[in-house]
Amino acid sequence: MTLHSAFSRRAGYALATAITLVLVACGGGGGGGEGGFFPVIPASSSTPPASTPEPSPPPAAPTYAVSGTVTGLLGTGLVLQNNAGDDLSIAANGRFSFATPLAGGTRYAVSIKSQSKILTRVCSVANGSGTIAAAVVDDVQVVCTEPPSRFAYVSNGDSNSVSAYTVDASTGALRAATTLSVPSPYALTVDPSGRFVYVSSTSGAGVSAYSIDRATGDLTAIGAPSVAAGGTSAGMAVDPTGRFAYFVNLAGDRVLAFDIDANTGALSSMAVSSVKTGGSPYGIAVDPTGRFAYVANTGDGTVSAYNIDATSGALSPMAIPTVTAGSGAREIAVDPSGRFAYVLNQGDKTVKAYAIDAVSGALTELKAKPPKTEGGPFSITVDPKGRFAYVANLDGHNVSAYTLNASTGVPTPAVTPTISTGNRPASVAIDASGKFAYVADNTDGKVSIYTIDAASGVLDPQAALTVNAGQAPNKIALSR
């Protein structure tokens, strides 16, 4: 066999084998049955069915805010809660709203977690609870007011005593409690928490401290020794947080400053124990927020003005440390809004009014002509609502009454400018409701009681309610 024929035969075998493999792979050659070609399935041109979407979550239930209004607030420290949580600090009067809204049908209950640091105000809640009724709650009311007067105290200079009374809130009547023996008492003041009374002496015994029985009003010496006041302390004041006390040193031309022990009421001198005043200082007043203090100087007819350090209580002279008052500037009172101050000038027999700068505390004399008093003006007080002022006139045997303009602060004589009293009235005190006035009649040894006309400020004597005090009652103070 030639090479050429062998090659041809091998090529034929190879071609036949290839054709056979192709036929097998394609399912055989034609025809049906098992030996035929496998059918070729063309690709489908139709779109597969869409998948079923996930169901949407149900809409969130609507929620509603709980809100309201705060009025009468002084100072900081007030914290509100809703449903015993969601704490909300309140810094000023006006609208408030809790951070967490509530769903319809949910209960809400607004309460007070902590009161303001200013103890002369107690806040309470009205319209504070209920069920959310698919609407915003916006009528919660938080009202801050001076707590009711429960007790009265009178210093009796010639009988070496302090008389204590309970106050009937509905009639203003006084009921005698105990009389406490105190050497030569002159001035007195009550701390704003209603727990302690401080009494100065004209005999050099300094200032003594007493605790108040919260049920009866009776006084008990706290056990701590009295503190030296450098002679008679005519003017006395406790700041509205109840932490600091200030006593005027009449002979030394200074104000003495003390810390008050929160538990016992005991006094201890501050690190800055005193500051200089004008000549012969007599009366002192602290503004309602406890930031400023003012001293009336009888000797030079001026008012000394001080800043109060919020932490230490230390006094420091303001940038404008003194302002001119009048002859014999004896006492000073600040209205409950803290916007105006009133100085009683004994020599001039006038009441001079000042505006108080809300930031600096500086005094600016009002332009209106100061109204006159009667003879021997001795003390001045402003009612707790800031509507009226009263001056006790020793020699006139009466009280001068003034209305105070709510916008300008200007005092004008009331429609009945003077009201007769007992002999030589020394001081006037007004209860927290502004309904009753109490006058210490120095010569008669009595306390006279008056109702106050809410519109005019005129005093109406309630002769049947007059009570006995000791000999030569001088100062009267009310306590919560």
Q: How far apart are CA 326 and CA 415, in angstroms?
A: 25
The average pLDDT across 362-368 equals: 97
The model's pTM is: 0.85
The average pLDDT across 291-300 equals: 98
Q: How far apart are CA 316 and CA 475, in angstroms?
A: 28
pLDDT at 4: 40
pLDDT at 59: 79
pLDDT at 46: 58
The average pLDDT across 324-336 equals: 97
The average pLDDT across 137-161 equals: 97
Stretch among 49-53, 56-60, 299-303 having the lowest mean pLDDT: 49-53
Q: In the chain, what percentage of residues exceed pLDDT 70? A: 90
Residue 50: pLDDT above 90?
no
Mean of the per-residue pLDDT values of the chain: 90
The average pLDDT across 326-333 equals: 97
Please enumerate in sequence order all residues whose Cβ is within 8 A of that of 239, keeping only pairs 6 or more positions apart, or say none: 245, 246, 286, 290, 308, 313
Q: How far apart are CA 215 and CA 253, in angstroms?
A: 39
Domains in the chain and their CATH numbers?
A: 63-145 (2.60.40), 151-479 (2.130.10.10)
Amino acid at 402: Y
Residue 78: pLDDT above 50?
yes
Candidates 452, 470, 454, 471; CA nearest to 462 is 452
Q: How far apart are CA 274 and CA 128, in angstroms?
A: 46
The average pLDDT across 333-358 equals: 98
Go through the chain and tell me how many residues it has.
480
Residue 41: pLDDT above 60?
no
Stretch among 45-59, 79-93, 145-159, 216-230 having the lowest mean pLDDT: 45-59
Q: How far apart are CA 43 and CA 331, in angstroms?
A: 109
What's the pLDDT tens digit per position in 382-439?
A: 999 999 999 999 999 999 999 999 999 999 999 999 999 999 999 999 999 999 999 9
Stretch among 15-29, 36-50, 213-227, 333-347 having the lowest mean pLDDT: 15-29
pLDDT at 20: 38
Stretch among 182-191, 222-231, 368-377 having the lowest mean pLDDT: 222-231
Q: How far apart are CA 414 and CA 416, in angstroms?
A: 5
Residue 121: pLDDT above 80?
yes
pLDDT at 203: 82
pLDDT band at 250 (very low <50, low <70, confident <90, very high): confident
Q: How far apart are CA 195 and CA 304, in angstroms?
A: 29
Residue 7: pLDDT above 60?
no
The average pLDDT across 115-121 equals: 96
Residue 34: pLDDT above 80?
no
Q: How far apart are CA 407 and CA 334, in angstroms?
A: 15
Residue 40: pLDDT above 70?
no
pLDDT at 238: 98
Stretch among 11-25, 112-126, 401-415 having the lowest mean pLDDT: 11-25
Q: How far apart are CA 186 and CA 229, in angstroms?
A: 12
